């Protein structure tokens, strides 16, 4: 896929901000211009100009002239203008040609989408998306499982055969993902209510002989595969771009856990939320993490007073399941703690 610019001359694409005052939209220290460099993300760039980085898609969506204005490239120059008092970003696309984009004709040039900068640092989540999935209790109970391996091996690898029970009648060649149970996430209001089971992807296997048990061969291995591991059709996750947006309503949840298993969480850590599809959220939803205000004593009235909650971070959801989700910490002013409240930022 490519982005096509049909204007031969230097073209500035004007993008007007959503209706709001300059003070509400812009950072007080915003630059007048910025040249995109390799390694930038749209979130990083928007944070240079805007108080709320997730508003970047709103800015682009105001411009009907560009098919996909999220595609900007190293070398592109962004400049800030004010038109009738409204802050407007101008995107100079000819800089991409100067940066090495081959000109195909006097009026058309193309830029590979693969060269466009991402919305967020995808390298932070790609390994996670490839190695983790979540299943509910029903799927866990009904999934096929390994009862033995060739030569009674405790752990199996590429080329080994495994024997699987409860595999539905399938034709030879069917591929399934082998997963190992990692941990269960409980509803913070009811420990007996499991929101989902986190499963680590350990291998991929191909069906060689249907039956009960069925015979499968491990064709790709990330970790050792053992008896009791389950086989599932791994739910595809988004590996492309993610477009930030606010939740439709003010749903509220908590930070359940962190991928690194630490109590204090900072920028670019991955956190688990007790919010999912059932709560109406999807990939790209932005939340704020809030810490409860301290309880202090009012010496004049001799009473305890709860200080207001304080926002500690912005979270962007990148993987969503029925009752839970994973989010990337995009920015943090303080350490996030397990149990911190999550809601509209």
The tokens for 291 are: 């810490």
* pTM: predicted TM-score of the whole model, two decimal places: 0.76
With H, G, I as helix, E, B as strand and everything else as coil, classify residue 132.
Answer: strand
Q: Do domains 128-232 and 245-343 have the same CATH topology?
A: yes
Rounded CA separation 344/272 (Å): 16
Query: Which pLDDT band holds residue 275 (cuts at 50, 70, 90)?
Result: very high
Cβ(273)–Cβ(281) below 8 Å: no
Neighbouring CB atoms inside 10 A of 323's CB total 19
Summarize pLDDT for 188-202 with one digit per residue, the tens.
888 888 999 998 899
What is the CATH number assigned to the segment(s) 128-232?
A: 2.40.10
Q: What is the pLDDT of residue 70?
A: 61
Judge whether residue 37 has pLDDT over 90.
no
Q: Which residues of 233-258 are buried (b: 16+ CB within 10 A; e: fewer)?
A: ebeebeeebbebbbbeeebebbbbbb
Looking at residues 154-173, what average pLDDT do you find? 81
Separation CA 49–CA 2 (nearest Å): 27
What is the widest separation between alpha-carbon atoms in the chain?
80
Which residues, 6+ apart, have CB-to-CB distance to 183 below 8 Å?
A: 197, 198, 257
Taking residue 56's Cβ as centre, other Cβ atoms within 10 Å add up to 22
Q: What is the CATH number of domain 245-343?
A: 2.40.10.410
Mean pLDDT, residues 244-269: 79
Domain ranges of the chain: 2-119, 128-232, 245-343
Q: Which residue has the higher pLDDT, 81 or 134?
A: 134
């Amino acid at each position: 896929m490519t982005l096509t610019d049909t204007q031969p001359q230097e073209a500035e694409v004007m993008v007007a901000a959503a209706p709001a005052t300059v003070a509400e939209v812009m950072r007080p220290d915003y630059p007048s211009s910025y040249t995109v460099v390799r390694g930038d993300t749209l979130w990083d760039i928007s944070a240079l100009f805007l108080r709320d980085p997730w508003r970047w898609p709103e800015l682009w969506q105001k411009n009907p002239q560009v098919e996909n204005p999220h595609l900007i490239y190293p070398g592109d120059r962004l400049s800030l203008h004010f038109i009738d008092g409204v802050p407007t970003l101008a995107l100079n696309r000819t800089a991409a040609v100067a940066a090495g984009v081959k000109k195909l004709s006097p009026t058309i040039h193309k830029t590979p989408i693969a060269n466009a900068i991402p919305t967020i640092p995808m390298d932070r989540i790609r390994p996670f998306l490839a190695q983790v999935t979540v299943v509910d209790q029903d799927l866990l109970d009904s999934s096929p499982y390994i009862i033995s391996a060739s030569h009674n091996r405790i752990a199996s690898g590429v080329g080994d055969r495994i024997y699987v029970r409860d595999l539905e009648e399938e034709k030879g060649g069917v591929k399934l993902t082998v997963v190992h149970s990692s941990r269960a996430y409980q509803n913070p209001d009811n420990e007996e209510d499991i929101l989902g089971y986190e499963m680590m992807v350990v291998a991929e296997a191909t069906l060689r002989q249907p039956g009960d048990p069925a015979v499968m061969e491990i064709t790709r291995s990330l970790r050792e595969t053992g008896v009791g591991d389950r086989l599932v059709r791994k739910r595809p996750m988004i590996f492309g771009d993610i477009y930030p947006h606010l939740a439709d309503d003010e749903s509220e949840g908590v930070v359940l856990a962190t991928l690194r298993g630490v109590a204090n969480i900072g920028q670019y850590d991955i956190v688990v939320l007790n919010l999912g599809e059932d709560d109406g959220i999807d990939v790209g939803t932005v939340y704020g993490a809030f810490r409860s205000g301290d309880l202090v004593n009012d010496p004049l009235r001799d009473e305890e007073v709860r200080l207001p909650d304080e926002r500690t971070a912005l979270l962007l959801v990148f993987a969503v399941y029925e009752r839970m989700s994973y989010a990337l910490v995009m920015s943090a002013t303080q350490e996030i703690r397990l149990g911190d409240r999550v809601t509209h930022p």
